[in-house]
DNA sequence: AATGGACGGTGACCGGGATCACGGCGCCGG
DNA sequence: CCGGCGCCGTGATCCCGGTCACCGTCCATT
């Protein structure tokens, strides 16, 4: 249970290219934080002075409108990090981050992080690569919001979720997400998600059990997701 | 006309923090390219082996669906750069880039760029900052697509466009954009953009002349853009 | 066992915005 | 000067999906 922070750092993809010596330096700088399910980790608008690595658990990055409607920008699990934007460009936090399960984090303060960044080009490059990927995903989301109907966006999301947890042709989603959450990810109401998923089940494209979604017909999903409506 | 590439590099915000010596090295590596209005600069799916700096002109970054509908992810002008994603994460080009006017570019090849990146932490940090900003904007776009109606999204876009060319409280948009282009940026049809803009003019929120849009009532625009519908 | 809360299923309704259709206008090159 | 073309304005129609309303089911707690 009381894992050495250093061992945790070694499992973080962001640090894969970073030399061992740098990791040791990092390990001395991080601090463990815990948040219960539902707990707020950071809030939109706050000044950002720390980066977080997820040791275990799951968090959502979301934006909340005045009337309470919520948009989930991403869901991150163990090995991911967040909070880097505010460190890099000195702007306030751009979104809320909320624990979806009991979560253990490693916190790294701005100056410590920036200091390592200057000294370790490998770290910069890993980080650049990761931000590039996030930017691609964001652009992809924008394009699907503009080009696809709800059915296509849900197909897209299911493929993406399966890929994240099961490699290139992942076919199972075990992460537990409510219809409401799925709706907040694709910009649809809970009711519409419910009807759309029902439809996919009836057409034998997916199967849904209590704690997992299985993608039965990936081809059909790809078609719905790629096809411009 | 035949400006020294070095002088151009000095004007690029990305290079502001980069030491003069590095710029000199860069200047020797870049190559000038020209594209006429409408010309394709790079295509979605291509392997990416170069980064481009815009010396003059204007380009759009866009994704085109099978049926021809187009989504404009961003419009970039002199001093901006593009093509960095494929260099950083080795994935294919994520979108098309097309010249909206006759455009002059400086092209920098992958290996030259990567080499400088390893040697110049200042460059990495500038780039990280720039990618952070782009990620914020992308997230913002996603949130407005999900939370705002077309009126709000257009208000948002107008504020953003004015800010880009006129500082914090910019109030003029001189860049020439058709209603169709605006629609492709906010996910709305040309007709709806037309009707919405007309409405803003009637309410004295903006004024539109042949070659500029003036934001008369920024407060009203902010209200429409921030308010969750 | 009972109760309450979270979650999913489904019908009814209706409204924002896409689409279709057409017309007008300014600017271009011949 | 005059067709042609790119762009904008506007009405009519239609439908996807949001919203409201209500119910059933599954836990979790007492």
Query: What is the C-alpha separation between A163 and A45, in angstroms, rounded?
Result: 32
pLDDT digit string (tens) for A140-175?
Answer: 999 999 999 999 999 999 999 999 888 777 799 998
Confidence (pTM)? 0.94
Residue A23, pLDDT score = 86
- Per-residue model confidence (pLDDT) at position A6: 84
Identify which of A221, A216, A211 has the alpha carbon closest to the alpha carbon of residue A177.
Answer: A211
CA→C1' distance for B36 and D1 (Å): 31
Residues of A in contact with B127 (CB under 8 A): 128
pLDDT at A14 over 70: yes
Q: Is B223 on the interface with A (CB under 8 A)?
A: no
Q: Are A14 and A81 in contact (CB under 8 A)?
A: yes
Residue A180 Cβ under 7 A from any strand C atom: yes
**Residue A34: its H or E element:** strand A31-35
Query: What's the mean pLDDT in A185-195?
Result: 98
pLDDT the model gives residue B98: 94
- pLDDT, position A229: 42
Residue of B nearest to A228 (CA): B65
Find out whether B221 and B173 touch, Cβ atoms under 8 Å: no
Q: Which residue of B has its CA nearest to A121?
A: B118
Write out pLDDT tens, residues B102-148: 899 999 999 999 988 888 888 999 999 999 999 999 999 999 999 99
- Evaluate if the CB of B28 falls below 7 Å from strand C: no
User: Is the distance between the Cβ of B141 and the closest atom of strand C smaller than 7 Å?
Assistant: no
Is residue B168 less than 8 Å (CB to CB) from chain A?
Answer: no
CB proximity A101–strand C (7 Å threshold): no
**A223 close contact with B: CB closer than 8 A:** no
Among the partner residues B71, B147, B227, nearest to A143 by beta-carbon distance: B71
Residues of B in contact with A67 (CB under 8 A): 228
């Amino acid at each position: 249970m009381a894992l050495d922070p250093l061992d945790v750092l070694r499992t973080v993809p962001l640090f894969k290219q970073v030399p061992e010596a740098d990791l040791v330096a990092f390990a001395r700088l991080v601090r463990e934080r815990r948040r219960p399910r539902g707990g707020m980790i950071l809030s939109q608008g706050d000044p950002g002075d720390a980066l977080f690595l997820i040791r275990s658990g799951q968090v959502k990055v979301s934006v909340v409108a005045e009337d309470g409607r919520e948009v989930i920008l991403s869901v991150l699990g163990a090995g991911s990090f967040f909070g880097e934007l505010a460190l890099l460009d000195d702007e306030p936090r751009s979104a809320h981050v909320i624990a979806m399960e009991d979560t253990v984090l490693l916190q790294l303060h701005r100056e410590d992080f920036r200091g390592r960044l200057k000294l370790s080009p490998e770290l910069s490059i890993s980080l650049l690569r990761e931000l590039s990927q996030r930017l691609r995903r964001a652009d992809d989301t924008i394009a699907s919001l503009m080009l696809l109907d709800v059915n296509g966006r849900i197909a897209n999301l299911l493929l993406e979720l399966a890929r994240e947890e099961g490699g290139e042709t992942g076919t199972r989603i075990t992460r537990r997400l409510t219809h409401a959450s799925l709706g907040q990810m694709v910009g649809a109401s809970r009711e519409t998600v419910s009807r759309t998923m029902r439809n996919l089940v009836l057409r034998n494209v997916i199967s849904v059990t209590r704690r997992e979604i299985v993608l039965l017909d990936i081809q059909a999903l790809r078609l719905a997701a790629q096809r411009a409506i």
